[in-house]
Chain A
Amino acid sequence: MTSSFVSATTLDEALSALEQGARPVAGGTDLVVGARQGKAPLPDSIVAIHRLDDLRFMGQSDGWFALGTLVTHAEVAADPFVRERLTALADASAIVGSRATRLHGTVGGNVMNASPAMEIGGPLIVFDAVAVLRIVFHPGSLDRTEISSRQVPVTDLLTGPGTTDARPEELLTEVAIPLPADGTGSCYARLEYRRQMEIAVVGASAAVALRDGAVESARVAITALAPTIRLVPEAEAALVGSDGGAGAVEAAAGAAAAAAQPISDVRASAEYRTAMAKVVARRVIGAAIARARGETVEVPASSSLFGTGGGA
């Protein structure tokens, strides 16, 4: 049962509350839903950060594309730059939960919830995104309060199901993505059983840069197939230097499946997940290469690649 609830109006206030042991809430789509499901009780002390409008930004600067922690999935999915240059992130943001989830759920909340099935984690990791964490400290005396920040690659931030490298007093304020090279195509898709209100049973992300018809660099990550979303360097090695043709894609997809350590649960058996890892990775890598070549694969790719988009 929550005994203390503060709605912060400044970052200082929010960070001080965290220092005092409060837990942050933004959209509430994980914290509240989890509590109602009995996953974890609501924290004793909560600090709401949804009024920190300084953390609600999205845009380019100095070779980076920055996403404030309070940007919602719906805003990310609708952003023209994201759809054009960070397409995998648009694929993911467009299919998080339901429309209501996307209107309220935030980038920061999704990342820090650290679900191995989260949609946006894979795209952030294949784009080498960096998380910015802020914390208050007291130089010299407790009366003096300053804010320090550190940057952690998202791939290192996620340490296990529901756990991160962040300290409890730290607040994720921003996720920054280095602008991908020209000629980069990317994709995220998940296997989904129905069209809405779905959660990834198996997901994969890829970002592939082509130069002169050959794969110059590649990043592949798998979702819901290991304790954390993780990169698959073997899949990347299979792609780099190749022509991005069917053989290279198949080899990379095989590597992605080989890297999977899936569990059996109510959603699928480990055997099925492993088999699907290869299928999903193959289609995702193929779509990333197609986009790098300038071909159109509609956002969100899950609908186009898994035939759930309707029509005969």
Chain B
Amino acid sequence: MEPSAFSILYQDTEAAPFDAGSSGSQTTMNNGRAVVAAAHEVREKLLDLAAERLEVAREDLELADGQVRVAGAPSKAVEIAELAGSGEQLLGKGSGPVPEAPPCDAQGCLGRLGMESFLEPQVFTHAVRVKVDRETGVVRVLHVAAAHDSGVILNRLGADGQVFGGIVMGIGQALFETSQLDEDGRQRNPHLLDYKLVTASDAPRIDVDWVETPAQNGGPRGSKGVGEPPTVPTPGAIGNAIARAVGARVNELPMTPERVWVAMQTNGR
């Protein structure tokens, strides 16, 4: 069946089962396993219903093209939509098999939530080109190239979007974003005028390439996490590019124009 044939119901958290939340690069990793398990249960029910309806042995049936049909005799079939509308409840639930993990102390504050997502670490690297104004220290990121191994990519558009967004967040960490506190611990820049986010106009060209090494002990269908990695190497790559460009390393984030300027005054070439 095509993805467009499905709709997702966002249900109340009062009714929905708990999970660890959308964090830790484990959303698809965990929910994907649960969806596969739940879908498997629905599949079993569909086979039961179809076997009864078509009066054939369950083992002879297959699911294909939106139908449950007799393998080898596709004309003997019933539409899944028809079964779904038959009044039978087709509910599935599940959380999927937990990947093999070394023993961890589930009594601790972290418990074991999300630990599985670290069993198949993502591997990634970023390269950036920057332009530094030597007189002012203003840095412009011109181009970011990102190569990521997040296992088998389940949804290329969504995965690319994670990288685009993560890189722009990473540029913010590298160059702009910081909470400035006064002596009494009050934030001096508590609004978006002076807590500077990267605007769409500042987003550079971003090229993404995926290295798809199937994960053996990770998420569904050989996938791995993808959410956090794009933010991680971006500030480091920008810092290295600045150091390469002006001969001075800025050892503090964000690398504001003033900090870059100070570093150039001290160590620049």
Knowing A194-B199, A197-B199, A267-B194 are in contact, say whether A272-B142 is a contact too (CB < 8 A).
no
A275 contacts partner chain B, Cβ-Cβ < 8 Å: yes
- Which of A195, A266, A269 sits near B199, CB closer than 8 Å? A195
Contact with B along A293-312 (1 / 0, CB 8 A): 00000000000001110111
B202 touching A307 by the CB < 8 A rule? no
A279 in contact with B136 given A266-B189, A307-B131 (CB within 8 Å): yes
Chain A, residues 192-219, CB within 8 Å of chain B (1/0): the string is 1111110100000000000000000000
Q: Are A191 and B261 in contact, with the CB atoms below 8 A? A: no
Q: Is the CB of B199 within 8 A of A312?
A: no
Hey, which chain B residues are within 8 Å of A193, CB to CB?
Answer: 138, 175-176, 196, 256-257
Q: Is the CB of B138 within 8 A of A308?
A: yes
Contact of A310 among B142, B188, B191, B196 (CB under 8 A): B142
Closest residue of chain A to B182 (Cβ to Cβ) is A266
A-chain residues with CB within 8 Å of residue B192 when the two chains form the complex:
197
Whether a CB of chain B sits under 8 angstroms from the CB of A268 is yes
Q: A196 touching B261 by the CB < 8 A rule? A: no
Asked if A194 meets B176 with Cβ closer than 8 Å, knowing A37-B191, A199-B193, A266-B194, the reply is yes
The answer, yes or no, to whether B140 is at the interface (CB within 8 Å) is yes
B40 at interface, CB cutoff 8 A: no
Q: Which residue of B lies closest to A97 (CB)?
A: B193
A279: chain B residues at CB < 8 Å are 135-136
Indicate whether B180 reaches chain A with its CB closer than 8 angstroms.
yes
B198 contacts chain A at the CB level, 8 A cutoff? yes
Instruction: Kindly state whether residue B45 has any CB partner on chain A within 8 Å.
Output: no
Partner of A266, one of B188, B198, B200: B188
Q: Tell me the chain A residues, 241-283 only, with Cβ under 8 Å from chain B.
A: 266-269, 272, 275-276, 279
Of B176, B201, B257, which one neighbours A191 at CB under 8 angstroms? Answer: B257
Q: Which residue of B lies closest to A283 (CB)?
A: B135
- Would you call B129 an interface residue if the criterion is a C-beta within 8 Å of the partner chain's C-beta atoms? yes
Name the residue on A nearest B193 (C-beta). Answer: A199
Cβ contact within 8 Å between A195 and B133: no
Across the interface, which residues of A come within 8 angstroms of B257, CB to CB?
191, 193, 272
What chain A residues lie within 8 Å of B136 (beta carbons)? 191, 276, 279, 306
Known: A191-B136, A191-B138, A194-B176. Is A269-B201 also a contact (CB below 8 A)? no
- Give the distance in Å from the alpha carbon of A308 to the alpha carbon of B139 in the complex: 9
> Which residues from chain B contact A310 at a C-beta distance below 8 Å?
140, 142
Chain B residues with Cβ under 8 A from A272's Cβ?
257-258, 261-262
> CB-CB < 8 A to A195: which residues of B?
199, 201-202
Which residue, A37, A194, A196, has most C-beta atoms of chain B within 10 A? A194
Distance in angstroms from B80 CB to nearest chain A CB is 48
CB-defined contacts of B201 to chain A, threshold 8 Å: 194-196
Closest A residue to B143 using CB positions = A312
Interface residues of B in 225-261 (CB under 8 A from A): 256-258, 261
Q: Are B258 and A307 in contact (CB under 8 A)?
A: no
Query: Across the interface, which residues of A come within 8 angstroms of B180, CB to CB?
Result: 266
A311→B133 CA distance, assembly (Å): 13
A269-B133 contact given A194-B176, A308-B140, CB 8 Å threshold: no
Are A194's CB and B261's CB within 8 A? no
Complex Cα distance, B257 from A266, in Å, reads 13
Chain A residues closer than 8 Å to B256, beta-carbon distance: 193
Give every chain B residue within 8 A of A194 (Cβ-Cβ): 176, 196, 198-199, 201-202
Name the residue on A nearest B135 (C-beta).
A279
Nearest chain-B residue to A275 (Cβ)? B261
Q: A37-B193, A193-B175, A195-B199 are in contact. List 4 more A-B contacts (CB 8 A).
A: A266-B180, A272-B261, A307-B133, A310-B140
Give 22 pairs: A residue, B residue, CB < 8 Å, sorted on A: A37-B191, A192-B138, A193-B175, A193-B196, A193-B256, A194-B199, A195-B199, A196-B199, A196-B201, A197-B192, A197-B193, A199-B193, A266-B189, A266-B194, A268-B258, A269-B258, A275-B261, A279-B135, A306-B136, A306-B138, A307-B133, A307-B140
Q: Which 10 A-B residue pairs are closest in the complex by CB-CB distance? A: A195-B201, A196-B199, A272-B258, A196-B201, A279-B135, A266-B189, A266-B194, A266-B188, A194-B202, A307-B133
Chain B residues packing against A (C-beta within 8 Å) = 129, 131, 133, 135-136, 138, 140, 142-143, 175-176, 180, 188-189, 191-194, 196, 198-202, 256-258, 261-262
